């Protein structure tokens, strides 16, 4: 599998099937899109403490998960700005090159090169035995997630179809358990529930050992009802996972028909690097800096 197998599907017109999903689930029609873009630009002028680009591509990133309600989109922008401000020590000026070693040399995260049977991107995270928290700590793990989401948000198909996260806890031990700190848990869930401009459709936990319960006790009190309904536990029962994602679209690690997956994101690194202008712009967005 080479980097040529991977690409960000940016500036791609929605397929007819995806257009139908967008209209049914997101209220997306040409007239509503036009009106929402115009109104959001007006709201941005009124919210003078916020700084974001005003091109249609960027505004669509915020409007689609908000079902084209401009008031909800500006609220999401504000939450993104708040999250960036509150986590400035981790996120200010973050570039792919800062986590190049974690992307290329460590087997922690990967994004499947294709989509699942529902047209969704799948992020696979290995926080079991292949993860060494001494080499990639929890802060770095979050930064990897953040960089990947910056690229994924550019894909129109992903904006409509949504994304899926598969968390693999195979051979999780005490070092991995202690690596998932309360601070990491709180930051990750705040990001997912408040400041993620993507439709997170499902989160699947697989191969959880008994020690996983220690981690779950940290996460559970912070999870709101909407996200709770999208979290599924499968243990080693891959047939349970297959009720949500067909085996034809999963690697053999999960009882699928595709090749075994390499958990490093080495093939994704150059792809994310290709959208560096967008990442630089994203770094500048948020609250207007006081002079």
Q: What is the domain range of residue 56?
A: 16-91
Distance of CA 120 to the CA centre of its chain: 11
Q: Report the alpha-carbon distance of residue 40 to residue 59 in Å, rounded.
A: 8
3-state secondary structure of 197: coil
Q: Report the alpha-carbon distance of residue 86 to residue 245 in Å, rounded.
A: 35
Is 144 found in the same domain as 34? no
- Is 73 part of any domain? yes
- Is 1 part of any domain? no
pLDDT at 4 over 70: no
Mean pLDDT of 134-163: 97
Is 133 found in the same domain as 254? yes
Contact assessment for residue 205 and residue 167, using Cβ atoms and an 8 Å cutoff: yes
Q: Which helix (H) or strand (E) holds 200?
A: strand 200-206
Q: What is the pLDDT of residue 3?
A: 40
List Cα–Cα distances, 245 to 92, 107, 167, 227, in angstroms: 36, 23, 14, 18
- Is 282 part of any domain? no
pLDDT at 289 over 90: no
Q: What is the pLDDT of residue 5?
A: 67
Query: At 2, is the pLDDT very low, low, confident or very high (cuts 50, 70, 90)?
Result: very low
Is 30 found in the same domain as 126? no
DSSP for 69-129, please give it. -HHHHHHHHHHHHHHHHHTHHHHTT--GGGGHHHHHHS-SEEE-SS--TTS-EEEEEE-ST
Is 151 found in the same domain as 121? yes
Distance of CA 181 to the CA centre of its chain: 20
Q: What is the pLDDT of residue 291?
A: 67
Q: What is the pLDDT of residue 126?
A: 95
Number of domains into which the chain is organized = 2
Q: What is the pLDDT of residue 133?
A: 96
Mean pLDDT of 23-42: 98
pLDDT in tens, 155-205: 999 999 999 999 999 999 999 999 999 999 999 999 999 999 999 999 999
**For residue 237, what are the contacts with CB-CB under 8 A and spacing of at least 6?**
none
- Give the Cβ contact number of residue 3 at 10 Å: 14
């Amino acid at each position: 599998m080479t980097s040529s197998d991977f690409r960000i599907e940016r500036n791609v017109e929605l397929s007819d099937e995806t257009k139908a999903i967008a209209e049914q689930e997101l209220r997306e029609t040409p007239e509503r899109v036009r009106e929402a873009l115009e109104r959001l630009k007006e709201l941005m002028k009124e919210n003078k403490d916020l700084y974001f680009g005003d091109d249609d591509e960027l505004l669509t990133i915020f409007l689609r998960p908000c079902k084209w309600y401009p008031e909800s989109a500006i609220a999401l922008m504000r939450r993104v700005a708040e999250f960036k401000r509150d986590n400035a020590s981790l996120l200010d000026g973050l570039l792919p090159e800062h986590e190049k070693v974690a992307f290329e040399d460590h087997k922690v995260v990967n994004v499947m090169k294709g989509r699942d049977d529902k047209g969704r991107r799948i992020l696979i995270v290995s926080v079991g035995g292949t993860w060494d928290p001494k080499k990639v700590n929890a802060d770095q793990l979050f930064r990897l997630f953040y960089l990947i989401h910056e690229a994924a948000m550019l894909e129109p198909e992903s904006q409509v179809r949504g994304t899926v996260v598969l968390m693999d806890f195979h051979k999780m031990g005490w070092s991995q358990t202690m690596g998932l700190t309360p601070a990491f848990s709180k930051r990750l869930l705040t990001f997912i529930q408040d400041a993620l401009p993507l439709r997170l459709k499902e989160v699947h936990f697989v191969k959880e050992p008994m020690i996983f319960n220690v981690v779950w006790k940290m996460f559970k009190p912070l999870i709101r009802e909407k996200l709770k309904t999208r979290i599924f536990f499968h243990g080693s029962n891959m047939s349970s996972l297959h009720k949500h994602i067909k085996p034809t679209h999963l690697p053999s690690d999960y009882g699928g028909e595709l090749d075994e997956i390499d958990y490093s994101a080495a093939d994704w690194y150059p792809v994310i690097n290709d959208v560096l202008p967008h990442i630089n712009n994203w770094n500048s967005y948020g609250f207007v800096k006081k002079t």
